[in-house]
């Protein structure tokens, strides 16, 4: 609430007391700016400001550009009522340490409308009203900001009926780091701040919208989302969404979604406020559909395509595990130099030492490349220490015994993103095609960009092995 009040303090002083209530309906122009983008988002009822992790961040929350694992493109077409339609295209690029950038285009066409004179008689000509907005955004965040991200997007807006008008506006957003064991994210956004459209002598305000949002993820299947919206030209509203993710064969995942939004309940007769849809993910490509009824007005169908590819310019996880266990002299005290005696000493250190010693023992066992260490390392995947679990996963990947496949796959649900990233990388080196479905899910939907990047790389690494297995059957 304090953050929301802070946003309100920076709103233009021309905003009237009647704004942000139902008394302000019909007082703004360029209403297409309030039309949500992306079929996945709309199937979730528009509760998306804390969920978005692709190029759609340019609309929902510019700060989320930093969550894109590399590059991302989102395309959407929405067929509306009569001959009207709404199209959206966006591109996001995570530059790594220097931040992330994005560009987007929104275009709304009202179709062809017969033109009339002042007496209401047809002139034999027609109008084609349309609106567009072109946005350019930048976001920055990460460890320097305690895991928080902030983004800003400037947009050029044009609206045309008979005459045209243009203006500029700004969107901004903030995204929290992952909280509660990488399950919860929070968001705050403000859209369409700044300019106004001038038609002849009339000044038309833009539809400013302030939102706070939250997304809660249950590892494996479920994501729940909530947005509270405060539009300049209407009463506050609540949006709720739920998504269930199902992993299928051959690296395909399927999502079923439902949402609810209170914004249109009091304005439209019939069934409104609900939404539903589905999505299918094919590695780097996603196809999503949303069905959104608007009561007596009609039904809107939305179809969108998304692609994500390429790593960021951030340094990849190194081949060693220095982040897990800083170098020390303790390993030389517990580890003999040669043979089975060395193996036994390391296994004993893995079981009985302190956190640092157990992590070092796991690292050293990985360097032995000895199958006799596999059972002890699998047990260490359940260790209370993040460093030990990560080191054990990395060691099992180096040893390459497929016996570790199922335990490593289970580790993709670990609450710590570094552990999940190392588990994904280890699965890629094991060469077991059975891990493909879970890696595909992690590559598409894990909330951490490093995990998505590692899972995507492991998925691509395993595809040749899967094809070979098919040929040998």
Mean pLDDT for 4-17 is 49
Mean pLDDT for 315-326 is 39
Which residues of the chain form CATH 1.25.10.10? Answer: 330-472
pLDDT of 48 > 70? The answer is yes
pLDDT of 396 > 90? The answer is yes
Lowest mean pLDDT among 65-74, 99-108, 342-351: 342-351
CATH code given to domain 28-114+125-309: 2.40.160.60
| Residue 99 Rama label (left phi>0; alpha psi -120 to 50; beta) | left
Query: pLDDT confidence of 345, banded at 50, 70, 90?
Result: confident
Mean pLDDT for 427-435 is 85
Which residues of the chain form CATH 2.40.160.60? Answer: 28-114+125-309
Average pLDDT score over the chain: 82
Q: What's the pLDDT tens digit per position in 188-201? A: 999 999 888 877 77
pLDDT of 139 > 60? The answer is yes
Query: pLDDT confidence of 175, banded at 50, 70, 90?
Result: very high
CATH code given to domain 330-472: 1.25.10.10
pLDDT of 328 > 80? The answer is no
Mean pLDDT for 254-272 is 81
Mean pLDDT for 292-321 is 67
Lowest mean pLDDT among 136-145, 259-268, 353-362: 259-268
């Amino acid at each position: 609430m304090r953050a929301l009040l802070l946003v309100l303090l920076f709103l233009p002083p021309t905003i009237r007391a009647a704004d942000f209530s139902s008394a302000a309906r019909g007082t703004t122009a360029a209403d297409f700016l309030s039309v949500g983008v992306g079929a996945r988002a709309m199937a979730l009822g528009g509760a998306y400001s804390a969920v978005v992790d692709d190029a759609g961040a340019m609309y929902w929350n510019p700060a989320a550009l930093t969550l894109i694992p590399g590059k991302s493109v989102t395309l959407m077409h929405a067929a509306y009522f009569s001959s009207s339609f709404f199209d959206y295209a966006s591109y996001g690029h995570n530059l790594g340490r220097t931040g992330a950038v994005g560009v987007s285009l929104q275009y709304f066409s009202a179709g062809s409308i017969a033109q009339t004179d002042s007496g209401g008689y047809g002139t034999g000509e027609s109008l084609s009203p349309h609106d567009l907005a072109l946005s350019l955004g930048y976001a920055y965040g990460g460890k320097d900001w305690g895991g928080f991200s902030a983004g800003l997007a400037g947009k050029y807006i044009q609206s045309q009926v008979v005459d045209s008008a243009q203006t500029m506006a700004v969107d901004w957003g903030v995204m929290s780091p992952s909280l509660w064991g990488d399950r919860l994210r929070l968001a705050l956004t403000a859209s369409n701040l700044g300019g106004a459209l001038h038609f002849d002598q009339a000044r038309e305000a833009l539809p400013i919208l302030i939102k706070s949002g939250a997304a809660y993820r249950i590892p494996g299947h479920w994501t729940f989302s909530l947005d509270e919206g405060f539009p300049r030209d209407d009463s506050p509203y609540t949006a709720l969404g739920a998504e269930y993710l199902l992993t299928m064969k051959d690296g395909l995942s399927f999502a079923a979604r439902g949402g609810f939004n209170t914004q249109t309940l009091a304005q439209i007769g019939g069934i409104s406020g609900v939404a539903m849809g589905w999505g299918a993910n094919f590695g780097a490509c996603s196809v999503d559909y949303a069905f959104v009824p608007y009561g007596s007005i009609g039904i809107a169908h939305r179809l969108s395509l998304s692609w994500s590819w390429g790593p960021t310019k951030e340094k990849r996880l190194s081949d060693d595990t220095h982040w897990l266990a800083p170098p020390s002299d303790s390993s030389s005290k517990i580890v003999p130099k040669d043979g089975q005696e060395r193996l036994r000493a390391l296994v004993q250190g893995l079981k009985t030492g302190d956190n640092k010693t157990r992590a070092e023992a796991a690292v050293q066992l990985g360097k032995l490349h000895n199958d006799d260490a596999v059972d002890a390392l699998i047990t260490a995947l359940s260790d209370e220490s993040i460093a030990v679990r990560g080191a054990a996963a990395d060691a099992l990947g180096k040893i390459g015994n497929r016996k570790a496949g199922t335990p490593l796959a289970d580790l993709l649900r670990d609450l710590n993103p570094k552990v999940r990233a190392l588990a994904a990388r280890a699965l890629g080196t094991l060469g077991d095609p059975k891990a493909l479905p879970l890696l595909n899910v992690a590559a598409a939907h894990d909330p951490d960009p490093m995990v998505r990047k590692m899972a995507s790389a492991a998925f691509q690494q395993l595809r040749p092995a899967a094809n070979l297995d098919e040929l040998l059957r």
